[in-house]
Chain A
Amino acid sequence: MSKKELELRPGTGPTADDEPVVQVVRVPRMTATWRAIHWFQALAVVVCFVTGLYIANPYYSPNPTRIDAATYFMAWNRAIHFYGALVLDVSMFLIAYLYVFSTKHRDITDLRPSPENLTEFKEALLNFVTFNRRKRLDTSKRDPFLAVLFLVFHLIILTQLLTGFQLYVASYSANISAVGSWWPSLLHFVTDWTLTVFGGNVGVRETHLVTAWIIIAWAVFHIYYEIWRSIMWKEGDIVISFGGYKYVKRSGTKHG
C-alpha cells in the first residue's frame, strides 16, 4: 500500500464499494479520570523525588554567615514531599478501587492468568524483545503485558507508601497529631510490620531511598516503552495519556 493511500480517510477515497480501504480508527484507551490520575502521579513522583533527595542529603543551604529567619528549606522540602506523597497515596486508593470496580475497564481482568491473557502477555513481550519483528497481538487494546507493567509500578508505590508512612509516624510523639490520636495509631497498625521485615527504622529508610530510584528507573523505562510503541507501531500510543485515544489503522472494504 502506498503512502498516499495510507493517508486516506473513510469516504474520501475514489474507490469502489468493495475495494479495500484503510481507515484510521480512534480507539478510546484512557478516560479523563485515568488521565488525571496519570498526570497527578507523574507530577507527584517528580516532586517527591526532588524533595526526597534534599531530605536524604540536603544539597543546598542558606548562607551560614547570614542567618535568615525566613528560610525553612528543609521544612518546605519535607512539607512538599508529604503533600506529593499524599497525592500519590490517595490516587493509589482510587486506582485500587478502579482496578476492581471500574465501570469502563477493570484492570483486574487483564491480570487474570487465563490462556488468552498469558498468550497476549507472551506475544507483547516477544514483540518488544524481537524489536517489533514478531507482531502477533492486537495492538489497539490494552495488553496484559502493559497491565503487569503497571501492576509492578503500583506495588513499588505501595512499598513506598508503607515505608514512607512508617518513617512519617516515627516522628509523632506519644500518638499526638493535629487530627487526633487515631491517625498515628492507624499508621502504626498498618506499617509497623515493615520494621520487622526491612530491619528496623534504618532498614525501612534504606528501602524507601532505594525504592525511590526504582520508581525513577521504572518511569524512564515507561517513557521509553511508550515512545518505542509510538514509533514502531505508528498508532500514536504516546498521545493516549493526553487525549485518551490511540489511532489504529484498519483495513476493510468501504462498507465492511
Chain B
Amino acid sequence: MEYDRRSLFARALGHTKELRTTEDEALALQRACEARLREVEAMEPLSGLELAPLLTEHKLSRRAFIAWTSAMTAALMLPPLLRPQVARAAALLNRIPVIWIEGQDCAGNSEAFIRSSGPTVEELLFQTISLEFHETLMAAAGVQAEQRKQQAAQMYKGSYILVIEGGIPLGENGGYCTIGASGQTFVDEVRELSGGAALVLAAGACAFYGGIPASNPNPTDAVGVSSVVSGKPLINIPACPMNPVNFVGTLIHYTLTGSAPALDSLGRPIWAFGNLIHNNCERRAHFDAGEYVQHWGDAGAQNNFCLYKMGCKGPFTYNNCSIVRYNEGTNWPIGVGHGCIGCSQPQFWDTLAYERPMTNASIHAPGLAGWGVESSADEFGLGLLAVVGVGIVAHAIASAAAGHRARRTEPPGAEVGAASTEDHQDTGGEE
C-alpha cells in the first residue's frame, strides 16, 4: 500500500501534485534516457579506460557496483526503474571530455576523490572520465602542460565539460593568481576555457562564491565562477570539499539527459542541495527534545546529543551529507561529534563557521566594518532596550518637573481649557 503524505485537508482542497512519479512518467523518462544513452554510446571512448575491467582489477564486485548504482539512482531522485540506465551512464563517462582547472584553492576537491581508503566507485569513475587536463594529477608540467590544455580545448571545442576548482581573484587585474609558464591570470584562463565549454561545473566552496579566499576582508577580491562566467550553463557543486557523490551524480545526470539538473536559486542541483541537512540529521530528535551538548566532552556529547549549542549550522545549510555522508558513507562531521559549519552555503567562513549559536556568536559582522559591530542580536537588543529605558526615565523625570512647574504657575482653571470644547462623541474618534 502506498503512503499518501497529503492530509485529508489537502485532499479536500483539491488537486495537488502527486508526490510520487507514476509508472507512465517513469517509463517516458526511461525512454528519453535510452535515446540519449544511444547517442553517447555512438561517441568514441576518449580516455581508453573502460569501467568494467577497472572494477574487476580493483576487486570491486558486481554486487558492490549494483549497490552503488542503486544508491546513486536514489540520490539523483530518479525512479528505481532507471537503475540500469544509471549503470550504463556510469560506464559511458569515458566519452565525456573534461578539462579541470584550479585557481585559489587547496586542491581539496580533487583530493576528496583520490584520498579514500580503497578505490571507490567514484574514484574509478574519476579515472575513466576523459580527464584531458588536471594540473594536480597530470604528469606533464610547464609549457608541455599548457600545450596539452590548448590542444584539448581545440579538439573538444563546444563539447567538453569545464570543471573549475578554486576562487578567482580579480584584484590587481587578476594578478594574485597566475597559471603556468606564460603567467596567464586565472580569470583570463576561466574566461578563455569557458568560451568553448558545453557545461561549466564549479567544484567546491571556493569556486561557488570565492570561499575561504573571499572571506573578510577578501584581500585578493576573490569571487566565484558565477561572477566571471556568463552565457554558459553553470552548475555549482559547493561544500568544502564537495562530495564526490554530488560531482559524479551531476556528471551522470548530464550523460543521462544531456542537460543540467534542476538547480536552486544559487545554481546548486536540487537533488543534492534541496534539503537542509538538519531535516535528515541523525541527531535531530535530540534537537527537538532540547537535548544539547553544552561543552565539548560533557554528558550530552557522550550521549550524541544535538550540537546546535556548539554552533552547528545544520538548520542553515542545504546539502545531502546527512544522507550520503562522506568517504563512501563512512561518516560526516556531525557523526564524529562536531557541528556543521555550513560549508555549502555562501560566505560560510564569515557567517557560519563558529562554535556557538548565531545569537551567541559575538563575531565581527562582515560588511559593517567600521561601525564597531561586535555584538550579537541579543546584545544589540539589550542595548536598544537600555537606550529606550534611559530615554523613558529621562522623559518621565522631565515631564514630572514640567508638570510640577506648571501647577505652581498656572492660573486656576487653566487645565480644563486646554482640551477642545468640541464634542467628539458624535464624530467617533473610534479606532
Contacts and interface: CB of A to CB of B under 8 A. Distances in A.
A237 interface: no
Contact of B396 (A1, A29, A133, A228): A228
Interface string B271-312: 000111011000000011111101000111001010011000
Contacts of A119: none
Nearest to B77: A174
A30 B291 contact: no
B381 A130 contact: no
Contacts of B9: 178-179
Contacts of A112: none
Interface stretch (A10-18, A158-166, A195-203): A195-203
Nearest to B401: A131
**Band of interface residues on B:** 35 or more
Nearest to B275: A173
A212 to B, nearest CB: 7
Contact of B17 (A78, A181, A210): A181
B139 interface: no
B290 A2 contact: no
A78 B284 CA distance: 14
Interface in B356-382: 357-360, 367, 377-378, 380-382
A255 to B, nearest CB: 13
A39 B420 CA distance: 30
A212 B382 CA distance: 11
Interface in B386-431: 387-389, 391-392, 395-396, 398-399, 401-403, 406, 412-413, 415-425, 427-431
A232 B403 contact: yes
Interface in A132-177: 132-133, 135, 138-142, 170-171, 173-174, 176-177
Contacts of A72: 288-290
B360 A57 contact: yes
A210 to B, nearest CB: 5
B299 A65 contact: yes
Contacts of B425: 25-28
Given A27-B425, A64-B298, A216-B385, A74 B289 contact: yes
B10 interface: yes
Given A131-B395, A180-B13, A206-B377, A142 B416 contact: no
Contact of B429 (A27, A58, A199): A27
B288 A61 contact: no
A230 B388 CA distance: 19
Contact of A220 (B276, B309, B388): B388
Nearest to A213: B381
Interface stretch (B144-152, B183-191, B346-354): B346-354
Given A28-B429, A180-B6, A213-B385, A201 B299 contact: no
Contact of B399 (A62, A177, A232): A232
Contacts of A234: 415
A202 B294 contact: no
B21 interface: no
B38 interface: no
A220 B389 contact: yes
A70 B312 CA distance: 24
A115 B170 CA distance: 54
Contacts of A1: 412-413, 415-416
A248 interface: yes
B22 interface: no
B399 A132 contact: yes
Interface in A224-256: 224, 228, 231-232, 234-235, 248-252
A209 B377 contact: yes
Contact of B377 (A67, A132, A213): A213
A142 B431 contact: yes
Interface string A49-78: 000010011101110110111011111011
Nearest to A34: B431
A252 B421 CA distance: 8
B309 A58 contact: yes
A127 to B, nearest CB: 10
Nearest to A200: B346
A234 to B, nearest CB: 8
Nearest to B15: A180
A122 interface: no
B163 to A, nearest CB: 25
A31 to B, nearest CB: 6
5 contacts: A28-B428, A71-B291, A140-B429, A171-B279, A201-B345
Interface of B: 5-7, 9-10, 13, 16-17, 19, 265, 274-276, 278-279, 287-292, 294, 298-300, 303, 305, 308-309, 315-316, 345-347, 351-352, 357-360, 367, 377-378, 380-382, 384-385, 387-389, 391-392, 395-396, 398-399, 401-403, 406, 412-413, 415-425, 427-431
Given A199-B367, A202-B358, A213-B378, 5 more contacts: A105-B428, A133-B402, A202-B345, A209-B359, A228-B396
Question: Which 8 A-B pairs rank lowest in CB-CB distance, beginning with the nearest?
Answer: A213-B381, A73-B290, A209-B377, A141-B429, A131-B402, A180-B10, A56-B359, A180-B16
